[in-house]
Structure 1
Amino acid sequence: MKFRNATAALVAAVGLVLAVSGCGGGDTPGTTSGTDGGRERVKLNVGYIDTSINGVGLISVANDLKLWDKAGIDVTLTPFTNGPTQIQAMAAGSLDVGYIGGGATWMPASGQAVIIAPSEATFGDFLLASPDSGAKTVQDLKGKRVGVPDGGSGEMILNLALTKAGLTVDDITRVPLDPPAVVSSFVSGQIDVAAIFSPLSDQIREKVPGAVVLANNRDFPETTFLGAWVASPGAATGKQEEVRRFLEVYIQANDYRKANPAKAVELAAAASGAPANQLQGQVDNLQWYTSDEMLADNGSGKTRERYAALQKLFLQLGRLTSEAPVEQWVNVDMFAAAKASLK
């Protein structure tokens, strides 16, 4: 297993840790070798979010269980801080597969990637009001300063809440901020309300215990925020065997972490250096689907229904300008093939 990094600093900080803690058995540090049951070995470039239990958590479990060798994959792992930069790397040709949160779903919906596994439903997105703001309900947001990152799930939860309350973005003072700045601005009183995702929402609630929850994902059951593993358009069509084998790794690692969440947190914390309590907070605000559940949802059409709802939301947000058939950007066939190959 080889580690290529998004930045030079990440090479030392994350790649080395994962190489030491997760790989094992390579001829040289950072590479893998071994048997794959007679299949010809393949190469694959895989990205992940290094602060996410859904990213580094999945990768660290795969490393610990030595699943890359089992699947016959010589993998190069690259840590990123978010989903959109992974899709940018795909466009540049340096990444085949990566993980994105629900807020980046508009990118595959616009043809920039192909969803190959809907990993989890997340419930860590919050609309939080300062106890000094006087806001107790979403209807109280009129004229309030709302800090929200452009794009992403914070923007999504804000839109859903405003729409349900009969308001629009014109009724508030929208303050676009980088995600960490939402936390600092809320704590310092520069904004009245934060529209933000986990773990930053958890940080706000820890630092301002009196913060008022105005809205959360659970208030909108008709719109599921789905994190997902995606493939570049080129890999989805030109590296189908490699992507299918990645899904073999994914299925086994995902089912393991579903059954052993504490161990997944332990491995992810050791690999990334992220605080275990922060990673556990993410686990507490999500629902991982087992591979059997994903296979059933893919077959029944529920997966496509969920993505159709997300596409509708991104059209409302203006992130998308036209609708594309979900079948064009969500591939359920490779997952079924990978599941069948593991029987």
Structure 2
Amino acid sequence: MNNIRKLTAVAGATMVAALIMTGCASSDGAPQTEGDDAGGREQVQLNVGYIDTSINGVGLIAVANDLDLWEKAGIDVNLQPFTNGPTQIQAMAAGSLDIGYIGGGATWMPASGQATIITPNEATYGDFVIASPDSGAESVEDLEGLRVGVPEGGSGEMILALALEEAGLTMDDVERVPLDPPNVVSSFVAGQIDVAAIFSPLSDQIFESVPDAVVLANNKDFPETEFVGAWVASNQAAADKPDAVSRFLEVWIEANDWRLDNVEEAVQLAADESGAPVEQLQGQADALEWWTSDTILENNESGKTNEQFDALVDLFVELGRIPEKVPSEEFVNLELFEQAKDARR
């Protein structure tokens, strides 16, 4: 029996309800199908979301599918593609999703109590503040009074805030032009804005269309505030079926370590799974850092993981996404990752 059934986000809730009605409860409250996995554990069911155009989302899922890791972990998985992180957290609130992937720009949502981070996934370096060659801007200090196109609520806004702060400026010092991400590119190329605060792969489109565009800031300029993407669980799943969530992390650990050793093949698997261009996914992979599961465990134990998310919380407070600082210990669960590592030893 094939344990993998890919569902659309719309159909997911209906299918999940049917499975819950017919399944019986496991010891941790998760529905389970008949039979045990190869390790003798009764199967659990999980509804897992991912971003279908992200090497960090579909890339991990494609590797897990290709290596048959769901069956190995005893998971009957319902896979649900999404276009972004916030809609996955909304699905969690509706009860139709257990686990999903979010980029660093959506970290304010678990920080505000809407989900639980279960593992960091990557640090991205594909966010840029880019000036038109006709703007005259050669540094961030030159942005005062210029028209800056920026998507609301994402990593473009974050990189712009960091750059302005370091230059001694604020958002009030620029003419901020809120735009949808694709419109940032088209407006920049058309000369309707002077500056773009945007992320990969859209930043790549700007460089292709305007090769003499001027890079004013990039993530690498701010090593103390890494834009860390993460896999998250619904608060209900983290509390009521931790064994099932820990089993997902067993899958994540093996798929993550495999993709680090086989990046090109992981990119091709992701392209085959999603239909996204190989070049686009490879460009994303080139602009990020993945960590081995051993490194993540070390970072968890040393406190570095919490420091990474604490730095993002500080930025979200500055941007007004959350009203006050929340300790990362309140929304990051490191114990489940340790359990998953122990189960694989």
Q: Fold-level match, TM-score > 0.5? A: yes
User: Which of 150, 153, 157 does residue 151 from structure 1 map onto?
Assistant: 153
Alignment-mate amino acid for residue 177 of structure 1: L
The answer to whether the aligner puts 1:274 opposite 2:276 as a matched pair is yes
**2:121–2:290 CA contact under 8 A, matched in 1:** yes
The answer to whether the aligner puts 1:3 opposite 2:6 as a matched pair is yes
Alignment-mate amino acid for residue 158 of structure 1: L
> Percent of pairs identical after alignment?
69
Q: Pairwise mapping of residues 81-92 of structure 1 onto structure 2 (< 5 A)?
A: 81-92=83-94
Which portions of structure 1, spanning 4 or more consecutive aligned residues, are displaced by more than 6 angstroms?
31-34
> What is the CA distance between 1:325 and its match in structure 2?
2.0
Distance 1:32 1:220 in 2: 50
TM-score, normalisation: structure 1: 0.92
Distance 2:217 2:36 in 1: 50
Structure 2 alignment gaps of length 5 or more: 12-32
**1:159–1:317 CA contact under 8 A, matched in 2:** yes
* Alignment partner, residue 23 of structure 1: none
CA RMSD between the two structures: 1.4
Structure 1 alignment gaps of length 5 or more: 9-30
What is the SS of the residue equivalent to 1:321?
coil
What is the SS of the residue equivalent to 1:120?
strand
Alignment-mate amino acid for residue 65 of structure 2: N
TM-score, normalisation: structure 2: 0.91
Task: Count residues with an aligned counterpart.
Answer: 321
> What is the CA distance between 1:33 and its match in structure 2?
8.9
> What is the CA distance between 1:36 and its match in structure 2?
3.1
> What is the CA distance between 1:246 and its match in structure 2?
0.2
Instruction: State the Cα deviation string for residues 147-189 of structure 1 (Å, max 9, x = none).
Output: 1111011000000000000001111000011111111111111
Q: Pairwise mapping of residues 130-279 of structure 1 onto structure 2 (< 5 A)?
A: 130-279=132-281
Q: Pairwise mapping of residues 315-326 of structure 1 onto structure 2 (< 5 A)?
A: 315-326=317-328
* Alignment partner, residue 312 of structure 2: 310
**1:48–1:78 CA contact under 8 A, matched in 2:** yes
> What is the CA distance between 1:267 and its match in structure 2?
0.2
**1:147–1:175 CA contact under 8 A, matched in 2:** yes
> What is the CA distance between 1:34 and its match in structure 2?
8.0
Distance 1:179 1:304 in 2: 29
The answer to whether the aligner puts 1:129 opposite 2:131 as a matched pair is yes
Distance 2:287 2:42 in 1: 40
Alignment-mate amino acid for residue 105 of structure 1: T
**1:33–1:69 CA contact under 8 A, matched in 2:** no
**2:35–2:43 CA contact under 8 A, matched in 1:** no
